[in-house]
Structure 1
Amino acid sequence: MRMGNSNKEFIEVLEQCEIFKGVERNCIEEVVRNAKIERYKAKELVRMRGDECNELLFLVEGEAFGLFTNPEGRVLQIDHMFAPKLLAAAIIFSADAKYPVDVETVRSSVFLNLDKNFFVSLMMKNERLLRNYLRYVSDAFTFVTDRFYEITMKNLVQKVCSYLIRLMNEQGSSIVTMDMSKEEIAREFGATRPALSRVFIELKKLGIIEMDGKKVRIRNERYVRDYAEFE
């Protein structure tokens, strides 16, 4: 699609979106007729975290990042979105509907902006659309929880590897003795004991370390050092 996108082209794109799978074409035509078109160049902010979310925003051309910036200024990529895609599906109908992340385009992109009350009226008339949307929201929630678990575990693995590097440097050996209990280490890292244990179990499964009580043999020092420096 180019700057002169026709309604037909938008309809064909939306037909590929999970929300509209199996939905009658006339329903999708109604969506396109009532939507506003938004166009952005590469690396432009589409929405900011905290912006009110009273719309359904469909990415119909291009790609965008969902980015979270923490108070220290570190930017974390939460999602990499490609057309066709509905943004913030799990947020739209919440009591305090605000965008949870910054949305920034990767390249020139086109969005369709649809009033959420209008979309509710469509779902009330179309059971397939309603079921598709509910499944889409559930999938979006699963993705977010899985993503944050992955990020949390990565940070914990990084802390464990940094701890092992410190022990190797202090003890001058790849076979080290932990100077704290796992409970103390977990407290130090701000993690739960089970979460910490899962990290050690995973490192053992991967063949990175061997353990015998408080003794740890680092079998893959390169992995441990690389992960300790992970950004």
Structure 2
Amino acid sequence: MSSSNQRFIEALQTCEIFKGVEKSCIEEVVRNARVERYDSKELVRIRGDSCEELLFLVEGEAFGLFTNPEGRVLQIDHMFAPKLLAAAVIFSTDAKYPVDVETVKPSVFLSVEKDFFVSLLMKNEKLLRNYLQYVSDAFVFITDRFYEITMKNLVQKVCSYLVRLMDEQNSSTVTMYMSKEELAREFGATRPALSRVFIELERLGIIEMEGKRVAIRNERYVRDYAEFD
């Protein structure tokens, strides 16, 4: 066995999917994998590419990036070896990579055919259970990540609104003219989500609220966040 294959086996042994799985199973995966090597800042896969494989990052690190229609790039994930990419979409009806995958530094990936991996899952209960847990964890991570991004955008909108009120009223203590329900509609958010933003800002000591009256205690924070891009 080559030294590089031995490194790949040792890397996969520490991957969540293969924890507690026999070494012979991992050796079989490496023997049947296609090795892909990339330099720094190279695109490995592009959002929308067909995902009919299991792609393991075995050396290096990569970003999962999403570019919106305005060209703004959002970093969804920072992936370190060893890691299976796109675990939650591989067996979907229309399996496509959900984000661009770009290397941070020279990296090595192993591409494993889906049908071959399914045969391993059918023969190895431990591997199957690990995979199901991995997929579930991936789903929880991505929903938490998008919640964080969405909330950050909403915090930005709230801070921009407060800055506008401070400038209009020439005071760090302002009166909101709209109810939270009206503000939520203007921001394209739910009222509970908007309320959570105000509660969090108050908990952090950024603002103090009494009805529609808002005292901004940390004006620098509010202005910086309003200008965040």
TM-score of the superposed pair, with normalisation by structure 1? 0.97
Per-residue deviation at 1:94? Answer: 0.5
Q: Which residue of 1 aligns with 2:178?
A: 180
CA distance in 2, matches of 1:215, 1:180: 11
Aligned residue for 1:156?
154
The answer for the alignment partner of 2:73 in structure 1 is 75
Tell me how far apart the structure 2 counterparts of residues 100 and 222 of structure 1 sit (CA, whole Å). Answer: 36
Query: Offset of 1:5 from its aligned partner?
Result: 5.0
**Per-residue displacement from partner, 1:59-106 (whole Å, max 9, x unpaired)?**
000000000000000000000000000000000000110000000001
TM-score normalised by length of structure 2: 0.98
Specify the alignment match of 2:20 in structure 1. 22
Distance in 2, Cα, partners of 1:134 & 1:178: 48
Query: How many Å separate the matches in 2 of 1:8 and 1:61?
Result: 12
User: Deviations 1:145-177 (Å, cap 9, x if unpaired)?
Assistant: 000000000000000000000000000000000
Unaligned runs of 5+ in 1: none
Deviation at 1:181, TM superposition (A): 1.1
Alignment of 1:222 onto 2:223:
no
**Residue type matched to 1:182 in 2?**
K
1:113 counterpart = 2:107? no
- Please name the residue that 1:190 is paired with: 188
Which 5+ residue runs of structure 2 have no aligned equivalent?
none
* Aligned twin of 2:94: 96
Aligned pair count?
A: 228
Percent of counterpart pairs with the same letter?
A: 82
In 2, the alpha carbon distance for the partners of 1:5 and 1:171 equals 70
Residue equivalent to 1:60: 58
